[in-house]
Copies of this chain bind each other. A is one copy, B any other.
Amino acid sequence: MGASKTDSFSVEQNEMANLFKALSHPARIAIVEYLLTVDSCICGDIVNELPLAQPTISQHLKELKNANIIKGTVEGTAICYCLNPDTIAKIENHFGMIGHKLKNKCC
């Protein structure tokens, strides 16, 4: 095969897996980090920041957008990207929950 057996798992499990898949590439990690260093959300120069061709970056941005990790709004000719705090908080809470449960364990 090659396709994940998505149907065999819960909606929540698939959601979390999709969030992590969106973050499972160094270019997308770099994009998130870059968005954090920029003061405002007004961007448009991500292509110059990364050692990848423009179509490749556009594709990575699309995946981050589909996963709701970033938001993009049209700003004239350019597009303004910024991180989605809700999704970041969602992931943060997920691991906070895991960390909390782990404290009551033998590990």
Contacts of A71 in B (CB 8 A): 107
Instruction: Give the number of residues in A that approach B within 8 Å (Cβ atoms).
Output: 48
Contacts of A9 in B (CB 8 A): 26-27, 29-30
A6-20: which residues lie under 8 A (CB-CB) from chain B? Answer: 6, 8-10, 13-14, 16-18, 20
Q: Which residues of A contact B (CB under 8 A)?
A: 4-6, 8-10, 13-14, 16-18, 20-21, 23-30, 32-33, 36, 39-41, 50-52, 71, 82-85, 88-89, 91-92, 95-96, 98-99, 101-102, 105-107
- CB contact under 8 A between A91 and B83, given known A29-B9, A29-B16, A102-B36: no
